[in-house]
Amino acid sequence: MSPASNPEILAELRLLRGEMNQGFDRIEDRFVPVDLFKAEIASTNQRVASLEMWHNKIVWLVISSVIIAVLSGIVTAAAL
C-alpha cells in the first residue's frame, strides 16, 4: 500500500513536513545574515586602518621630536 493511497499517512507526512520547515526557519533565525557580517567586517577594517594611520602619525611625531631635540642639543653644545 503506497502512502499516496492512505490519507492518514499523507496527513502525517504533511504534518512532519510542516514541523521540519518550522525547524529550519528557527535555525535560520539564529544565524547572522552574511550581508550584515560582511558589513561589520568592512567597518572593523576601516577602524583598524584609521588607527594604523594615527599610530603612524604619532610615531613620526615622536621620531621628529627626538631628532629636533638631539640637533638642538648639538647646536647648544657647539655654541658653548
* Residue 19 clears pLDDT 80, i.e. is over it: no
Q: Are the beta carbons of 9 and 3 closer than 8 angstroms? A: yes
Q: What is the pLDDT of residue 34?
A: 73
Q: What is the pLDDT of residue 75?
A: 93
* Residue 3 clears pLDDT 60, i.e. is over it: no
CA distances from 44 to 24, 39, 79, 80 (A): 31, 9, 52, 54
Q: What is the pLDDT of residue 12?
A: 80
- Cα–Cα distance for residue pair 71/34, rounded to 1 Å: 55
Domain boundaries, the chain: 1-31, 33-80
- Cα–Cα distance for residue pair 76/70, rounded to 1 Å: 10
> For residue range 23-67, what is the model confidence (pLDDT) as tens digits?
666 666 666 677 777 888 888 889 899 999 999 999 999 999 999
Number of H helices, E strands in the chain: 2, 0
